[in-house]
Amino acid sequence: MRKPVQDLIKKGRDQGFLTQEDILEVFSDAENRISELDDLYEKLLAENIDVFESVTPEEIDSDEKVQEKLDREIEILSKLEGVESTDPVRQYLREIGRVPLLDAEEEVELAKRYEKADKKAKDKLTESNLRLVVSIAKKYIGRGLSLLDLIQEGNQGLIRAVEKYDWRKGFKFSTYATWWIRQAITRAIADQARTIRIPVHMVETINKLYRTSRRLMQELGREPTPEEIGEELELEPDRVREIFKIAQEVTSLEAPVGEDQE
């Protein structure tokens, strides 16, 4: 294995992930090194090193502007104590707005406590970054999932970021969490796109199945069985297997997304 590739894998080990940009810097002629690239991805998968979309400085700046706008919205909602809202998103924003933000030192302190199996520290670090999820989720509206679904998927990414965050690496937690949140949301959108050729009555069932499967995977630390998923959704295990089979068949069709789905 070439030294640049070895260095790339070491970088992935050190920070827990690589970006597509990192890989393209080493594999600028990727079309001529398909076999070597496949070997790299297998190695990364075996070592549990994730590969994220590259994020440009412009996108980071855009994320920060959305975050600032969201903070102003939350501040306004938090002052409307006597006003009830029927909008579930606004209700959620008001709820998370009550959770104080953390500074970098507090985040590191909570990460240290979580290393010692302090569940309350994990919960606090998660809850204090829920508005980050909303600010990122808002950028994906109109791609097949409701804002609440996008937030739910993003929250799963946030939880995984909390679980994998290594404060010793020097990364600001919100920067690290952004990768995980974006990945969780984009994967969920991809799952949704695969359901285009599925009958309408099956779409929500499959979405629930995937969401439940991902949530159980987070809770159990492994792939859930059809029996475990079925128990959560009140479905027979055979029905769970059947629905997964339908979803896999649709995936194999590689249905193109129409321009109106962009």
Range from 9-23, 147-161, 242-256 that averages highest in pLDDT = 147-161
Tokens linked to 82: 């006597």
Full DSSP string of 38-98: HHHHHHHHHTT-EEE----HHHHHHHHHHHHHHHHHHHHHHT-TT-----HHHHHHHHHHT
Residues 250 and 219 in one domain: yes
pLDDT of residue 25: 82
Q: Is the pLDDT of residue 251 over 80?
A: no
Q: Is the pLDDT of residue 254 over 60?
A: no
Residues 78 and 109 in one domain: yes
Residues 132 and 204 in one domain: no
Q: What is the mean pLDDT of residues 104-126?
A: 94
Residues 155 and 139 in one domain: yes
Rounded Cα distance between 88 and 256, Å, is: 33
Q: 17 versus 69: which is more confidently predicted? A: 17
Residues 60 and 161 in one domain: yes
pLDDT in tens, 162-215: 998 888 877 788 878 887 888 788 778 877 765 555 555 566 677 788 888 888
What residues contact 27, with CB distance under 8 A and at least 6 apart?
33, 36, 37, 40
Full DSSP string of 189-204: HHHHHTTTTS-HHHHH
pLDDT of residue 37: 73
pLDDT in tens, 37-84: 767 877 887 787 877 665 555 555 565 666 677 677 666 655 555 545
Phi/psi of residue 19, each to 5°? -105, 160
Q: Is residue 188 part of a domain?
A: no
| Total number of domains in the chain | 3
Q: Is residue 167 part of a domain?
A: yes
Tokens linked to 217: 């995977």
pLDDT in tens, 213-239: 888 888 888 889 999 999 998 889 998
Q: What type of residue sits at position 38?
A: D
Residues 87 and 123 in one domain: yes
pLDDT in tens, 120-165: 999 999 999 998 898 888 888 877 788 889 999 999 999 988 998 8
Pick the last residue of a domain from 153, 178, 203. Answer: 178
Note the helical H segments in the chain.
3-15, 20-26, 34-46, 57-78, 88-97, 104-115, 119-127, 130-137, 147-164, 173-193, 200-220, 226-233, 237-253
**CA nearest to 6, candidates 48, 29, 36:** 36
Tokens linked to 192: 């949704």
Q: Is residue 183 part of a domain?
A: no
Residues 46 and 60 in one domain: no
Other residues' Cβ atoms within 10 Å of the Cβ of residue 67: 17
What is the pLDDT confidence band of residue 258, given thresholds at 50, 70 and 90?
Answer: very low
Cα atoms in the Cβ-side hemisphere of radius 13 Å centred on 42: 6
Residue 246: CATH number of its domain: 1.10.10.10
Q: Is residue 185 part of a domain?
A: no
Residues 68 and 159 in one domain: yes
Residue 104: CATH number of its domain: 1.20.120.1810
Look up the domain containing 10 and give its range: 3-52
Q: Is the pLDDT of residue 113 over 90?
A: yes
